[in-house]
Every structure is written in C-alpha cells, then in structure tokens.
Amino acid sequence: MLPVKASDGSLDLLNWIAGIPGKSNTLWDHATYPLTIAFPEEYPAKPPKVKFPAGFYHPNVYPSGTVCLSILNEEQDWRPAISLKQILLGVQELLNTPNPDSPAQEPAWRLFTKDRLAYEKKVREQTKRYANPDK
C-alpha cells in the first residue's frame, strides 16, 4: 500500500491506496481489490475512512464503496491503537464472511441471503475483473 501522490509531487500521508488480496481457497482468491484509505485530521482520535470503488459488490459495502466495519466506526470498536495492518486484515476477512445483519447495499445482500448460488456467481464475475495478472 502506498500514499497517494499529490499534484505537487509530494506524497499525501492522509490518503493511501491499497490492494486487498482475496484469501486463498475462498471465492475471492486470485484477485486484488483496490481500496482507498482516507485519514481525517483527527486521526488517530477518529478512524480512517476505507472505500472500495463505487458499485463494489459486497453485502456490507455501500453503493458509494464505503466499508461499514465495526472497527472503523468511532461509536463502536474504533480505538486509536488499531493499526493499519489490523484494518486491512479486517477488511480482507470481511470479504468472505459478510454480516447479513448489517446490510449496506440491497443487491448483494438480497442474493447473499436468498440465492447463495447466484451471489457466488456475481462474486466470481467481480473476481475476474480484479484478477491478478498471470505469473
């Protein structure tokens, strides 16, 4: 993961881009999902905002791409000592273990709870789009 390069050539330490590799032996394997991490000025008193691209297909990702995860939520489990590494691992874990009780988008949530096969098909299609280049 890297900070974003600003127009003046410096690196913006408040805005990072990262790639989340899908865990081995899961639906999400063999692909790397792009993620942006925006740190507020009050970090680490407040959590960073973590986003996939808009329209990312996952029951717990908003249509805008924002990830709604308890450890990224100031009112829930955010602590100033939570490291970037823990955040990235948390998001990676979330990919294959969605929480159906806290839906953030309707299409992925509906298929995940009602038609698991169709859901898995959609995830595989998305995996193809973010597939790792052949080694």
Minimum CB separation of residue 47 from another protein in Å reads 10
Near another protein in 64-103, by CB under 8 A: 64, 66, 68-71, 73-77, 79-86, 88-90, 93-94, 97-103
Candidate list 4, 68, 71, 82, residue with the active-site label? 68
68 noted as active-site residue: yes
38 binds another protein (CB under 8 A): no
123 binds another protein (CB under 8 A): no
DSSP characters over the chain: -EEEEPTTS-EEEEEEEEEEEPPTTSTTTTBEEEEEEE--TTTTSSPPEEEPPTT---TTB-TT-BB--GGG-TTTT--TT--HHHHHHHHHHHHHS--TTS-S-HHHHHHHHH-HHHHHHHHHHHHHHTBPPP-
Among 43, 115, 116, 120, binds another protein (CB under 8 A): 43
14 binds another protein (CB under 8 A): yes
Count of chain residues binding another protein (CB under 8 A) = 71
> Which residues are identified as catalytic?
68
